Amino acid sequence: MKTTVDARPPLSDITVIEIAGAPGSWATGLLGEFGARVIKIGRMGMPPVRWGSFGMRYLNSQDERTRYAAFNPHDRNKESIILDLKKESGRQVFYKLVAAGDVVVEGYRPGVARRLKIDYETLLSINPGIIYCAITGYGQDGPYQDTAGHDINYAALSGVLGLTALKGGPPVLPGIPVGDWGGGFAQAVIGILLALTARRPTGRGQYIDISMTDGLVSFLKGYVADYLETGIAPAPGESVPTGGAPYNNVYRTKDEKYVSIGCWEPWLYENLCRAISREDLIPLQHARGDDRDRVHSILSGIFLTRTRDEWFQFLKDKDVCVAPVNSLAETLADEQVLHRRMVVEVGHPRMGKVKQIGIGIKLSETPGTIRRTAPMEGENTDSILKELGYSSQQIDQLRQEKAIE
């Protein structure tokens, strides 16, 4: 489908102010990819934080900060300003940003924003159209509202982690932070877009209370509906999504790798059985007990006769739901992933061309764009302040007061 790359981005008239942790930063990053101006407020005296597969760590050296900015996909397209929101002069800068802005995204624990005098009620008096999105682990009320937590805790409490286990085994940690991503970042983006739509006829903003735990619980609709109807809770490894059925499972292959099979529909399961010359297994798709175990054992033996990639090439053109279980390196080299531009090259002012992850949402007329790599912390402080009307002398005064960095 033809893409109009010079069309006006859908969020180009929206300004987002970010004072957030990781989930909020990911949410604003997606908004920025579709044209929103995102102004990220950093904390005084705090080195940048790197969140990734190696955990959380502070970046203390200039070289570390430069490299992270070049490869960091979460903060691309953003501007960075460092404010001390505990100081009145720092808050006044923030209030001016809010007066001209559309969305505030924050990730403080409940009550912190009020103590800093940057809560929704305060900002509403400055800008009645402001949309305020607060992302927390458990929400703004309830018995757990002040309880510390991270992704693993939200996944655990919501029941997602308890379902993610092989039969008889311990819970298996998901490969991505499902609470931060699904319960936090995705829910926040949806909430913000809904609030922007609701604002059009009235001009009134609203408060968005995102609980990462709530988001994960909402993802369990199918499980919850079955339980509320039957009173039977699914056991780990017994439900179809967690490996409780031979037709939706992963199988070890000849080369000690794995292939995934997802033939839920009867005709797809039939295609699988015919492809491997085991039509006798067709009536046993929904077998239980010993019959189910026998089907699983038969399929396990068959998949050991070829390599993972041989099975994928053999089955993918036979209308069978099949895919290799890839490593990250294999995913980033996969022809489909590359064709869909999920790995892209972007220019960096110091490091030249660097590779980053692409944009997942494909719009035909107003596609997302990577206009710039992530800024260094505080890189845009002076230019933003001048835009707000501060003189060079006033900016120097704010720096002397340590209200900005």
Catalytic residues: 180
Q: Residue 287: what are its φ and ψ, rounded to 5°?
A: -65, 155
**What residue has token string 């794995």?**
258
> Do 214 and 139 meet the contact criterion of CB atoms below 8 Å apart?
yes
In one letter, which amino acid is 165? A
Reading the block at residue 379, the tokens are 């890189």
**Exposure class string for 143-165: b at 16+ Cβ within 10 A, else e:** ebeeeebebebbbbbbbbbebbb
> Do 345 and 354 meet the contact criterion of CB atoms below 8 Å apart?
yes
Biggest distance spanned by C-alpha atoms of the chain:
84
Nearest to 35 by CA among 344, 364, 347, 367: 367
Give Cβ neighbours of residue 286 (< 8 Å, ≥ 6 apart).
Answer: 245
For 243, 269, 278, 285, 387, the CA distances from 272, given in Å and listed in that order, are: 17, 5, 8, 11, 63
Q: What is the DSSP letter of 373?
A: P
Question: Parallel, antiparallel, or unpaired for β 103-106 and 131-136?
Answer: parallel
**What residue has token string 């809770």?**
233
Find the length of the chain. 405
Q: Residue 32: what are its φ and ψ, rounded to 5°?
A: -65, -35
Reading the block at residue 44, the tokens are 């005084």
